[in-house]
Amino acid sequence: MTTSSSSAAEKNIKIESLKKIVILFVLFLVLFIIFYLRNHENNEYIIKTLELNGSITEGDSLFKTNCVGCHGITARGLVGPDLHSITARLNDKEIIKQVTGGLTPPMPSFEIEPQNMANLLKYLHTLE
Protein backbone atom coordinates (compact mmCIF):
# COMPACT_ATOMS: atom_id res chain seq x y z
CA MET A 1 0.00 0.00 0.00
CA THR A 2 2.82 2.38 0.60
CA THR A 3 3.84 1.95 -2.99
CA SER A 4 0.49 3.06 -4.40
CA SER A 5 0.24 6.08 -2.09
CA SER A 6 3.80 7.16 -2.91
CA SER A 7 3.01 6.57 -6.58
CA ALA A 8 -0.07 8.80 -6.27
CA ALA A 9 2.01 11.45 -4.49
CA GLU A 10 4.61 11.32 -7.26
CA LYS A 11 1.87 11.75 -9.88
CA ASN A 12 0.50 14.79 -8.00
CA ILE A 13 3.99 16.31 -7.84
CA LYS A 14 4.46 15.73 -11.57
CA ILE A 15 1.06 17.28 -12.34
CA GLU A 16 1.83 20.31 -10.19
CA SER A 17 5.22 20.70 -11.86
CA LEU A 18 3.62 20.44 -15.28
CA LYS A 19 1.03 23.08 -14.31
CA LYS A 20 3.81 25.43 -13.22
CA ILE A 21 5.67 24.89 -16.48
CA VAL A 22 2.52 25.55 -18.53
CA ILE A 23 1.75 28.71 -16.52
CA LEU A 24 5.32 29.99 -16.98
CA PHE A 25 5.19 29.22 -20.70
CA VAL A 26 1.87 31.05 -21.13
CA LEU A 27 3.20 34.02 -19.14
CA PHE A 28 6.33 34.12 -21.30
CA LEU A 29 4.24 33.90 -24.46
CA VAL A 30 1.96 36.76 -23.36
CA LEU A 31 4.94 38.96 -22.48
CA PHE A 32 6.59 38.16 -25.80
CA ILE A 33 3.44 39.07 -27.73
CA ILE A 34 3.05 42.34 -25.82
CA PHE A 35 6.72 43.24 -26.40
CA TYR A 36 6.49 42.32 -30.09
CA LEU A 37 3.33 44.34 -30.71
CA ARG A 38 4.62 47.36 -28.83
CA ASN A 39 7.97 47.25 -30.59
CA HIS A 40 6.34 46.66 -33.99
CA GLU A 41 4.03 49.66 -33.51
CA ASN A 42 6.99 51.82 -32.45
CA ASN A 43 9.02 50.69 -35.48
CA GLU A 44 6.22 51.64 -37.87
CA TYR A 45 6.06 55.09 -36.27
CA ILE A 46 9.84 55.51 -36.56
CA ILE A 47 9.87 54.39 -40.22
CA LYS A 48 7.02 56.74 -41.10
CA THR A 49 8.71 59.65 -39.28
CA LEU A 50 12.06 59.10 -40.97
CA GLU A 51 10.42 59.05 -44.41
CA LEU A 52 9.07 62.58 -43.91
CA ASN A 53 10.83 65.85 -44.65
CA GLY A 54 10.92 68.08 -41.62
CA SER A 55 10.71 71.84 -41.39
CA ILE A 56 13.30 73.69 -39.29
CA THR A 57 10.86 76.55 -38.68
CA GLU A 58 8.07 74.22 -37.54
CA GLY A 59 10.54 72.24 -35.43
CA ASP A 60 11.81 75.43 -33.78
CA SER A 61 8.24 76.43 -32.98
CA LEU A 62 7.47 72.98 -31.60
CA PHE A 63 10.62 73.09 -29.48
CA LYS A 64 9.73 76.53 -28.09
CA THR A 65 6.22 75.35 -27.25
CA ASN A 66 7.10 72.05 -25.59
CA CYS A 67 10.77 71.79 -24.70
CA VAL A 68 12.14 75.11 -23.43
CA GLY A 69 10.85 74.55 -19.89
CA CYS A 70 13.45 71.82 -19.40
CA HIS A 71 16.04 72.43 -22.10
CA GLY A 72 16.04 76.25 -22.11
CA ILE A 73 15.24 78.72 -24.87
CA THR A 74 18.67 78.17 -26.43
CA ALA A 75 18.56 74.37 -25.83
CA ARG A 76 21.61 74.66 -23.55
CA GLY A 77 19.86 72.78 -20.77
CA LEU A 78 18.12 73.51 -17.49
CA VAL A 79 16.46 70.50 -15.87
CA GLY A 80 17.06 68.58 -19.09
CA PRO A 81 20.43 68.29 -20.79
CA ASP A 82 22.05 70.58 -23.34
CA LEU A 83 20.77 69.47 -26.74
CA HIS A 84 23.53 70.99 -28.84
CA SER A 85 25.22 68.22 -30.83
CA ILE A 86 22.52 65.78 -29.67
CA THR A 87 22.38 64.37 -33.19
CA ALA A 88 26.08 63.52 -32.92
CA ARG A 89 25.45 61.61 -29.68
CA LEU A 90 22.18 59.90 -30.63
CA ASN A 91 20.90 58.76 -34.00
CA ASP A 92 17.44 59.80 -35.17
CA LYS A 93 15.82 56.53 -34.06
CA GLU A 94 17.23 56.97 -30.55
CA ILE A 95 16.01 60.57 -30.41
CA ILE A 96 12.53 59.50 -31.51
CA LYS A 97 12.45 56.80 -28.83
CA GLN A 98 13.63 59.32 -26.22
CA VAL A 99 10.98 61.87 -27.12
CA THR A 100 8.09 59.42 -27.46
CA GLY A 101 9.11 57.21 -24.55
CA GLY A 102 10.58 59.67 -22.05
CA LEU A 103 13.35 57.15 -21.41
CA THR A 104 15.38 59.26 -18.99
CA PRO A 105 13.42 60.69 -16.07
CA PRO A 106 12.28 63.33 -15.42
CA MET A 107 11.58 63.64 -19.16
CA PRO A 108 7.95 62.87 -19.92
CA SER A 109 6.88 60.88 -22.94
CA PHE A 110 5.25 62.83 -25.74
CA GLU A 111 2.58 61.69 -28.16
CA ILE A 112 3.69 63.50 -31.26
CA GLU A 113 2.52 63.12 -34.83
CA PRO A 114 5.17 61.76 -37.24
CA GLN A 115 5.31 65.05 -39.19
CA ASN A 116 5.88 67.05 -36.01
CA MET A 117 8.56 64.58 -34.91
CA ALA A 118 10.24 64.98 -38.31
CA ASN A 119 10.09 68.76 -37.83
CA LEU A 120 11.65 68.48 -34.37
CA LEU A 121 14.40 66.23 -35.69
CA LYS A 122 15.16 68.71 -38.46
CA TYR A 123 15.46 71.47 -35.86
CA LEU A 124 17.64 69.37 -33.55
CA HIS A 125 20.03 68.76 -36.45
CA THR A 126 20.64 72.51 -36.60
CA LEU A 127 21.90 72.68 -33.00
CA GLU A 128 25.68 72.60 -32.98
With 80 as the cut, is the pLDDT of residue 63 above it? yes
Q: How many other C-beta atoms are found inside a 10 Å radius of the C-beta of residue 61?
A: 15
Question: Tens digits of per-residue pLDDT, 17-37?
Answer: 888 888 888 887 777 666 665
For the chain, the average pLDDT equals: 88
Chain segment 93-128, per-residue pLDDT in tens? 999 999 999 988 899 999 999 999 999 999 999 998
Distance CA 99, CA 108 (A): 8
106: cis peptide before it, omega within 30°?
yes
Question: Global pTM?
Answer: 0.69
What are the Cα distances from residue 83, in Å, to 1, 30, 79, 93, 121?
Answer: 77, 38, 12, 16, 11
How many C-beta atoms surround the C-beta of residue 99 within 10 A? Answer: 22
